[in-house]
Amino acid sequence: MSRLSIFPDQSEAVCGEMPLPQRVCIDPDSIQRELRARGIAFEQWPTSRSLTQGADQAEILSVYANEINRIQAAEGYVTVDAIRIHPDHPERSALRSKFLAEHIHSENEVRFFVEGQGLFCLHINEEVLLVLCEQGDLIHVPAGTRHWFDMGSAPSFCALRFFNNSAGWVARFTGNPIADRYPRLD
């Protein structure tokens, strides 16, 4: 079940202190409303098609061609790829570490989860929003939004990623260790 947890910004908290959420939303309408108020778009789309165990990127993109076309037509994204990571992925630890560092992008970050789950963590003004995205969730994180992503220690997800440039995922890391002060996916 998708979930939004809203925390106060604890960037100056004492090490070891885990903040408590000020609000938790589990129904899609509340999640969408809270995120929209902060400039984040969130939708849920049906995902009734299953991917084969060994589906490569070409197959994944083919299976979800209608959704890809809908997003590209509406928003003009030029590049789309699929990231699929399972618990036995040889680079799972390195990828998790990279994504867990707070960063920003010069373009919007748009993800459509077609399998599994991942935790988007958004650092907006004086709040940190933890958005548990699951199959069928579409999230639009505006360019310049400080955030990090946790796929968990035993990741199991597949997401379509949309880009306005052909370089794909390009991040500028902030150097802020804030991600260490908030709950992780595990």
Give the tens place of pLDDT for each residue, 55-83. Answer: 999 999 999 999 999 999 999 898 899 99
Beta bridge partners of residue 25, listed in sequence order: 4
Which domains are present in the chain? 3-181 (2.60.120.10)
Q: Say whether pLDDT at 171 is over 90.
A: no
Give the tens place of pLDDT for each residue, 107-147. Answer: 999 999 999 999 999 999 999 999 999 999 999 999 999 99
Q: What is the pLDDT of residue 103?
A: 95
Give the tens place of pLDDT for each residue, 105-117. Answer: 989 999 999 999 9
CB atoms within 10 A of CB 106: 11
CB atoms within 10 A of CB 124: 18
Residue 177 CA to residue 168 CA, distance in Å, equals 25
Average pLDDT over residues 9-21: 70
Q: Which helix (H) or strand (E) holds 146?
A: strand 146-150
Question: What does the mean pLDDT of the chain come to?
Answer: 91
Residue 85 CA to residue 95 CA, distance in Å, equals 10
Residue 158 CA to residue 144 CA, distance in Å, equals 24
